[in-house]
Amino acid sequence: ELPVIDLSQLEAREEEAREECKSQIARASEEWGFFQVVNHGISGDILKRLRWEEEKAFKEPFDVKTREENNYFSAGAYRWGSPTATCIKQLSWSEAFHIPLTDIIASNNNNDNNNNNIPSNNNTLRLIMEHFASRVSKLAERIAEILAEKMGDKSSFIKENCLPDTCYMRLNRYPACPVRARCGDEIINGLMAHTDSDFLTILYQDHQVGGLQLVKDGKWIAVKPNPEALIVNIGDLFQAYSNGLYKSVYHRVVTNPISERFSTAYFFCPSSDTVIDSFTKPSLYRKFNFREY
């Protein structure tokens, strides 16, 4: 079973309990690349309201979601299917709003919206997203800080580079998929197998409808929905920064024939021109500057 870590232990009076909690986080990141956290400090009320608003946004007609001038967020946030898929294996049976955090923060702090082209409809969704983002970004920072500390990194590299204006949120909806189409051994996925390219991701997944699976010891394992928990996973950049210590593992979402499913992901990442150098040497990875390519 995917480890469940009680974050209230980080505030425990005994240092031993605090250190044990940090060790659990590091161990899970090494062995699984994924873990669940409970007592994470984000209230059930915020999560419930977020889900409610998210459902409402996805229920809008397709032409409203795709119309740029009438979108919830800036142009291009709404995505559906897999435009480049050439076979079932590459298809994602889902729709999403992929939103830079700057869209959420800027639009709410700027009532007349003069600085950007974000329309002012649906402020409740953006407001609740801002509440969620402000809390979840602190949680991401804290977990990253613990992981850095556990690998002996005393620098402030992650903190300096993963800022609210470089992070993203993604709202996902997976419609029920009654078709069990096949492509060789593959069936239709809600989200095709992938690793995340960020430092780390915090995911609020559906309380009832499962579907998230991850690779552990070469096998796909299903993550059971836990209403109390948020899911944390290591991204490619943390794997590179930790020189392979923490694992960025493949995960996917399988479809459900009867029920739709929702999830919300927070991607904790630096800007795309940040060069990641591994903390220990020799480095397993080549330094890569996106700007030079």
Q: Which residues are catalytic?
A: 261
Q: How far is the CB of 233 from ligand AKG (least distance, A)?
A: 8
The pairs formed by 152-156 with CB atoms below 8 angstroms and a separation of 24 or more are 152/279, 153/279
In the complex, minimum distance from the CB of residue 173 to ligand AKG, in angstroms, rounded to a whole number: 9
For ligand AKG, the closer CB: 51 or 251 = 251
The residue among 253, 213, 212 whose CA lies nearest residue 93 is 253
- Nearer Cβ to ligand AKG (69/258): 258
Tell me whether residue 95 or residue 130 sits nearer to ligand AKG (CB atom): 95
Least Cα distance to 8 among 43, 45, 37, 48 occurs for: 37
Q: Are 163 and 144 in contact (CB under 8 A)?
A: no
Q: What's the min distance (Å) between Cβ of 206 and ligand AKG? A: 8
Residue 41, φ and ψ in degrees, nearest 5: 90, 5
Dihedral of alpha carbons 178, 67, 49, 98, sign: positive
Q: Which is nearer to ligand AKG, 176 or 284 (CB)?
A: 176
Q: How far is the CB of 176 from ligand AKG (least distance, A)?
A: 15
Distance linking the first and last C-alpha atoms of the chain: 41
Which one, 21 or 213, has the nearer CB to ligand AKG? Answer: 213
Least gap, CB of 147 to ligand AKG (angstroms): 19
Residues 228-267 that bind ligand AKG (CB under 6 A): 251, 253, 263, 265
Residues 137-166: b if buried by 16+ CB within 10 A, e if exposed: bebbbebbebbbebbebeeebbeebbbeeb
Contacting residue, 166, 195, 205, 242, with ligand AKG by CB under 6 A: 205
How far apart are alpha carbons 69 and 179 in whole angstroms? 34
What is the per-residue binding string for ligand AKG in 146-185, x denoting contact by CB under 6 A? ------------------------x-x-------------
Closer Cβ to ligand AKG, 54 or 130, answer by number: 54
Q: Which of 140, 191, 209, 215 binds ligand AKG (CB under 6 A)?
A: 191
Q: What are phi and psi of 129, to 5 degrees?
A: -65, -35
Task: Give the interface size with ligand AKG as a residue count (CB under 6 A).
Answer: 11
Which residues lie below 8 Å from residue 86, measured CB to CB, with a gap of 6+?
none
Considering only residues 62 to 121 of the shown chain, the ones binding ligand AKG according to CB under 6 A are none
Q: Out of 99, 143, 203, 245, which residue is the one contacting ligand AKG (CB under 6 A)?
A: 203
Q: How near is the Cβ of 143 to ligand AKG at its closest, in Å?
A: 17
Q: Which of 240, 20, 251, 230 is nearest to 137 (CA)?
A: 230
Amino acid at 157: F
Positions that interact with ligand AKG (CB under 6 A): 170, 172, 191, 196, 203, 205, 212, 251, 253, 263, 265
